[in-house]
Amino acid sequence: MSYTLNQIVSIIDNNVRSGLAGSSNAVYSLDQLAAEVILYRNTVIEKIHQSPAIFNVRDFVQNFNVQLDRRYLNLNNEEIYGETSELHFIMPQPLISLKEDSILYVGPVSMDNKEWKVYFNSHQIKRHKYRMATANLPFVYVSDIVNEEGDVHCWVKNFTGTATELFVSVILSDPLKILDYDAGTEMDIIFPASNSVCETIIDNLTKKYLYYFRQLKQEQTPNDQRYK
Amino acid sequence: MENNAELAKYNIYSAQTKLEEDWGLVLKTPTFLEWAYNAASKIGFNKNFVKIGVTVLEDGLVSLPFKAENIKSVTTDYNNFLSWNVLNADILNENGIPKIIDRFGIATEDLSLNPDQLKGNYVDFIFENESELMVNPELKGRKVYVLALVKMVDDDNLPLFTEKQIEAIATYCAYIYTRRNAFAGIKGLDLAFMKSEADKAIASARIPDYISDNEWDRVLDAKTSFNRKSYNKSFR
């Protein structure tokens, strides 16, 4: 079964309200809860990424097409990259702590089993030409600077074909950013997490909220204007 | 490979599918290619001999119309080629040299009867890059005969391998994966076990399943300095 973000938030909310019934009237924002669900998802991914046996990248990726344009790439003011405009696209920030594992596929829309190498480090792209087997294949440089809209700039190099758009399959840092790509509405996009991860999120966030609100629950004292 | 009894019919991506099916590893293509070429260079690419006659250009430049992996010999005829044996007078060119169309569709003038040997005098050469040689500039205008080894590739220019070589490439990639995980501190299979598996597979891939009689003939010719047909036999 697949969950939407709203369903997960609703389940946690119901759990917490049932658990606190009769002991506290905690008030919290559902938006904040949604933000915490996304944050907790990213944390869980980072943890299970260390265990290749249970980490399946396909559970977490989101797929969309990006439009190609041209933009100057200037790395450290070096002439070799600063002179000409390069193929360029914008995409939401990937979950950068997974490094290259955060991007499952970037390449032609035809997906002919030849995904391109992805670099996050500007020094690495200068060494691409020294690769022994794949020096002539295209590659992508994903800048680590996030703009004000939460997007990152990416450049395609070594590409000799013609393309107006690329297909991208990536673990996004904020899954809702896919809404920028006409992927549906917030209500109906599937939350990109496996069932076990959804269960972990629901379980742990419920526990956290119950624990916080029970701990913070203060005794009601009458206002009798006396020192206690 | 000349006289090879085995058919190299799988391209390098067969090893990627083998890796997915046998080891459950899904690698990204650029990473796989790097590892696979590394493995293939340990096993040895399958290569074919190509013989070609080329005219020496300015400054002793010899331009090859293909990408050579190794050069076996470079010779020139000087003035004595007319005295050599010729195979078939019907396909001789105006100089009395037999014409052969090689696998690249290039008409070559093959002087040799032995497939991996060219007659004539050896010429010193420098292997500049995969399609260029340098010889003595004084040879400008003369024809040199180059015997080169080129990789066996398919229509997409991908190297071809036999079944055992594909198996070895997949095993080697699994070993590299284990090694990377070990360096990253991720628990996995025993590194020593994987190393021995990879070494075994690579050693096995270097041995052909079957050796043709033609190849045996060449091997025995090289190994015996006398007529091997009389070896250990009395013809008295």
> What's the CA angle centered on B155, arms A131 and A140, to 5 degrees?
35
Q: When comparing pLDDT for B170 and B232, which is higher?
A: B170
Q: Rounded mean pLDDT of B111-115?
A: 46
Condensed to tens digits (0 to 9), the pLDDT of residues A91-118 reads 999 998 888 889 999 999 887 768 899 9
The answer to the question of residue A150 being in a domain is: yes
Residues A100 and A155 in one domain: yes
The pLDDT value recorded for residue B120 is 67
Enter the tokens of residue A214.
């029970």
With 0.80 as the threshold, say if the pTM is over it: no
- The residues, ordered by sequence, that sit 6+ positions from B38 with a Cβ below 8 Å of its Cβ are A132, A133, B172, B176
Contact A133 B33 (CB under 8 A): yes
Residues A28 and A96 in one domain: no
The answer to the question of residue A167 being in a domain is: yes
> Would you say residue B86 has pLDDT above 60?
no
> Would you say residue B145 has pLDDT above 80?
yes
Q: How many structural domains compose chain A?
A: 2
Condensed to tens digits (0 to 9), the pLDDT of residues B155-165 reads 888 889 999 99
**If residue A56 lies in a helix (H) or strand (E), which one and from where to where?**
none
> Would you say residue A172 has pLDDT above 70?
yes
Q: CA–CA separation, A38 vs A197, rounded Å?
A: 11
The answer to the question of residue A130 being in a domain is: yes
> Would you say residue A200 has pLDDT above 80?
yes
The answer to the question of residue A222 being in a domain is: no
Residues 137-166 of A with CB under 8 A from B: 137, 139
| Beta-bridge mates of residue B70 | B149
* β pairing state of B47-55 and B143-151: antiparallel
Condensed to tens digits (0 to 9), the pLDDT of residues B8-44 reads 889 999 999 999 999 988 898 999 999 999 999 999 8
Condensed to tens digits (0 to 9), the pLDDT of residues A206-223 reads 999 888 877 766 556 667
Q: Rounded mean pLDDT of A177-190?
A: 75
In Å, how far are A69, A130, A131, A176, B99 from A149, measured between CA atoms?
18, 35, 35, 13, 68
The answer to the question of residue A226 being in a domain is: no
On chain B, the residues whose CB falls within 8 A of the CB of A133 are 33-34, 36-38
Scanning chain B, the segments in alpha helix (DSSP H) are 13-18, 29-43, 163-183, 191-205, 213-223
CB B12 within 8 A of CB B159: yes
Contact A134 B33 (CB under 8 A): yes
What is the strand order of the sheet B125-129 is part of?
Answer: B61-63, B132-135, B125-129
Determine if residue A77 is left, alpha or beta; phi over 0 gives left, psi from -120 to 50 gives alpha, anything else beta: left
Contact B28 A114 (CB under 8 A): no
Contact A50 B186 (CB under 8 A): yes
The answer to the question of residue A228 being in a domain is: no
Condensed to tens digits (0 to 9), the pLDDT of residues A139-157 reads 999 988 888 888 999 999 8
Alpha carbon of A205: minimum distance to chain B alpha carbons (Å): 28
ipTM: 0.79
Percent of chain B with pLDDT over 90: 30
Residue position matching structure tokens 């970037």: A106
* β pairing state of B99-101 and B107-109: antiparallel
Buried b (16+ CB within 10 A) or exposed e, B91-101: eeeeeebbeee
On chain B, the residues whose CB falls within 8 A of the CB of A115 are 28-30
Q: Tell me if chain B has a CB within 8 Å of the CB of A190.
A: no
Condensed to tens digits (0 to 9), the pLDDT of residues A119-135 reads 998 888 889 999 988 89
Condensed to tens digits (0 to 9), the pLDDT of residues A37-61 reads 999 999 999 998 887 778 888 889 9
Contact B29 A131 (CB under 8 A): no
What range defines the domain where residue A130 resides?
61-181
Residues A29 and A120 in one domain: no
Residues A65 and A36 in one domain: no
3-state helix, strand and coil shares in percent for chain A, rounded to the nearest 5: 40, 25, 40
> What's the CA angle centered on B185, arms B184 and B190, to 5 degrees?
105
Residues A68 and A175 in one domain: yes
| Beta-bridge mates of residue B109 | B99
Residues A74 and A172 in one domain: yes
Q: When comparing pLDDT for B90 and B194, which is higher?
A: B194
Residue A134 has its nearest CB partner, among B34, B181, B186, at B34
Residues A50 and A84 in one domain: no
Residue position matching structure tokens 């799988």: B10
The pLDDT value recorded for residue B171 is 96
The pLDDT value recorded for residue A86 is 84
CB A166 within 8 A of CB A65: yes
On chain A, the residues whose CB falls within 8 A of the CB of B31 are 117
Beta strands in A148-209 (DSSP E): 151-157, 165-170
Residues A80 and A33 in one domain: no
> Would you say residue A69 has pLDDT above 70?
yes
CB B182 within 8 A of CB B31: no
Enter the tokens of residue A14.
């119901």
> Would you say residue A226 has pLDDT above 80?
no
The answer to the question of residue A187 being in a domain is: no
Residues A10 and A67 in one domain: no
The pLDDT value recorded for residue B99 is 55
Residues A50 and A103 in one domain: no
Q: For residue A20, what pLDDT band results from cuts at 50, 70 and 90?
A: confident
Q: When comparing pLDDT for A161 and B16, which is higher?
A: B16
**If residue A216 lies in a helix (H) or strand (E), which one and from where to where?**
helix A195-216
Q: CA–CA separation, A193 vs A191, rounded Å?
A: 6
Q: CA–CA separation, A53 vs A48, rounded Å?
A: 9
In Å, how far are A86, B8, B70, B181, B198 from B195, measured between CA atoms?
42, 26, 29, 14, 5
Residues A53 and A66 in one domain: no
Residues 87-126 of A with CB under 8 A from B: 100, 113-117
The pLDDT value recorded for residue A84 is 67
3-state helix, strand and coil shares in percent for chain B, rounded to the nearest 5: 35, 20, 40
> Would you say residue B231 has pLDDT above 70?
no
Contact A139 B13 (CB under 8 A): no
Determine if residue B122 is left, alpha or beta; phi over 0 gives left, psi from -120 to 50 gives alpha, anything else beta: beta
In Å, how far are A19, A204, A210 from A15, measured between CA atoms?
6, 11, 9
Nearest C-alpha in B relative to A113: B29
Residues A98 and A151 in one domain: yes
Q: Tell me, what amino acid is at A81?
A: Y
The answer to the question of residue A223 being in a domain is: no
The pLDDT value recorded for residue A203 is 94
